[in-house]
Structure 1
Amino acid sequence: MRTVIFDMDGVLVDTEPLHHDAFYSHFAELGIQVSEEEYATFLGSSTRNVYQHLKQQYNLKQDVEELMSRKRDFFGKTFDESTTLELLPGVRELVVALHEQGIPLALASSASKETIGRVFKRFDLYPYFQHLVSGEDFEKSKPNPAIFLHAAELVGTPPAECVVIEDAANGVAAAKAAGMHCIGYQSEHSDGQDLSRADLIVSDLRQLTAATVLGLGV
């Protein structure tokens, strides 16, 4: 393997509960009732695609940009006020080990550029990653493979020589559709996510070493 592509939410940092709270605060403000089952289908999708769906599903009068902006207001406030948010156990060690071996790292996250920036600044991750790719730049979210293919193109690595680390069914499907190897992270917040198509599934990121990741598919 020549390149490792990380998802962000639920892989580098557990922001999913913050996103959940932000979405549901906004849903309450909009007066719509979104079930937890429907919400689970959004995991791995960009905020834009989520609100495109919600606007059509619930006949919302606001345009998508306005809806996205309001949700980000909720998320930003929660993110900035959180005193417990940390990188997931094992993440920094894995990132540093891969970086020290000269392995190009890329981020391909459905999160907005603003949210990616918040996370990378807070946890000083910029030095380790060559490219950061946001889902807001793509018309279709994961499971469409476009975001992963673009990340590989930026790094200059053939898809077959890339490993993706993902925690959502949509992300695993996108990685496999891109022709990449995939590690599925089965976290406490990914209950109900079908990661069975991943080449390797772990329940703790501390199970992963640079050698394990780079040896995938050998």
Structure 2
Amino acid sequence: MLKTVIFDMDGVIVDTEPVHHYAYHQQFEQLGITVTPEMYASFTGNSTKNIFQKLKDQFDLPQTVEELVDTKRMLFNDAFDQKEDLTLLEGVHELILDLRAHNIQLVLASSSARVTIHRIFKRFELFPHFSHIVSGEEFPQSKPHPAIFEHAVHLSGDQATECIVIEDSTNGILAAKAAGVFCVGYDSFHSKGQDYTQADVVVQDFKALNYERLAALLA
């Protein structure tokens, strides 16, 4: 029986990837490092802290991880505030309202920093719909490690078998499955180079999802 839906944020609720891409690559240029498209794609689902730990180790960067994260956050916030056309992904607001109308609990489990999550939730007035917010910066290991989803399930007060995760990344899908949670893969045109073969169900449009279909998946 479905009781809780756990949402990823970037690429599922809102497409902030172009903003992240701009901020990261502006910083890579400042640092004088070359990050290949393949390397950048492998970071999907990782926390900013873990991304910069990997970059620091690979490129022997003199800055601390905290300094690198702070710089990226500043670049992101500036770009985010200037991007007036940023919107929720098509159909996701309707899905959120439909699930809440059926008393389904919603939990956010995003690799983004809590300050970034709060900026987006404030901008789009999402706080009233979600009972809990979990940020990847709170965990030493990023997706595909299952810790973030295990914690989200714990906060929900429900069993993993009573939850569904909606994810758009390979790492996120693997993390959900490792946590023992049914996973819906969202393969939209925003997704780049992700593998959805491990997802239990794959959709390309949120119009294909509603309370009845999601509840039937766990029936």
TM-score, with structure 2 as normaliser: 0.98
Residue 96 of structure 1: SS of its match in structure 2?
helix
Match of 1:178 in 2: 179
Q: For residue 23 of structure 2, what is the amino acid of its counterpart? A: A
1:189: how far off?
Answer: 2.6
- More displaced, 205-214 or 150-159? 205-214
Match of 2:92 in 1: 91
What is the CA deviation profile of residues 58-98 of structure 1, one whole-angstrom value per residue up to 9, with x for unaligned ones?
A: 00000000000000111001100011100000010000110
Asked if the contact 2:149/2:176 (under 8 Å) is kept, the reply is yes
1:104: how far off?
Answer: 0.7
Match of 1:103 in 2: 104
How do residues 37-116 of structure 1 correspond to structure 2 at under 5 angstroms?
Answer: 37-116=38-117
Match of 2:160 in 1: 159
In the aligned structure 1, how far is the partner of 2:27 from the partner of 2:214? Answer: 38
1:146: how far off?
Answer: 0.4
| Unaligned ranges ≥5, structure 2 | none
1:204 aligns with 2:205: yes
Residue 95 of structure 2: SS of its match in structure 1?
helix
Match of 1:190 in 2: 191
Asked if the contact 2:19/2:79 (under 8 Å) is kept, the reply is yes
1:214: how far off?
Answer: 1.9
In the aligned structure 2, how far is the partner of 1:29 from the partner of 1:214? Answer: 48
Match of 1:149 in 2: 150
In the aligned structure 2, how far is the partner of 1:177 from the partner of 1:21? Answer: 31
Structure 1's consecutive aligned runs of 4 or more residues displaced over 2 angstroms after TM superposition are none
Alignment root-mean-square deviation, CA: 0.7
Q: For residue 22 of structure 1, what is the amino acid of its counterpart? A: A
What is the CA deviation profile of residues 159-217 of structure 1, one whole-angstrom value per residue up to 9, with x for unaligned ones?
A: 12110000000000000000000000112232210011111101111211111122213
In the aligned structure 2, how far is the partner of 1:59 from the partner of 1:66? Answer: 14
Residue 157 of structure 1: SS of its match in structure 2?
coil
1:17 aligns with 2:18: yes
Residue 73 of structure 2: SS of its match in structure 1?
helix
In the aligned structure 2, how far is the partner of 1:189 from the partner of 1:57? Answer: 28
Over the matched positions of the two proteins, sequence identity in percent amounts to: 53
Q: For residue 62 of structure 2, what is the amino acid of its counterpart? A: K
In the aligned structure 2, how far is the partner of 1:51 from the partner of 1:75? Answer: 15
In the aligned structure 1, how far is the partner of 2:149 from the partner of 2:113? Answer: 15
Match of 1:129 in 2: 130
TM-score, with structure 1 as normaliser: 0.98
In the aligned structure 2, how far is the partner of 1:160 from the partner of 1:65? Answer: 37
| Unaligned ranges ≥5, structure 1 | none
Residue 190 of structure 2: SS of its match in structure 1?
coil
Residue 183 of structure 1: SS of its match in structure 2?
strand
Asked if the contact 2:105/2:156 (under 8 Å) is kept, the reply is yes
Residue 215 of structure 1: SS of its match in structure 2?
helix
- More displaced, 171-180 or 189-198? 189-198
Q: For residue 152 of structure 2, what is the amino acid of its counterpart? A: A
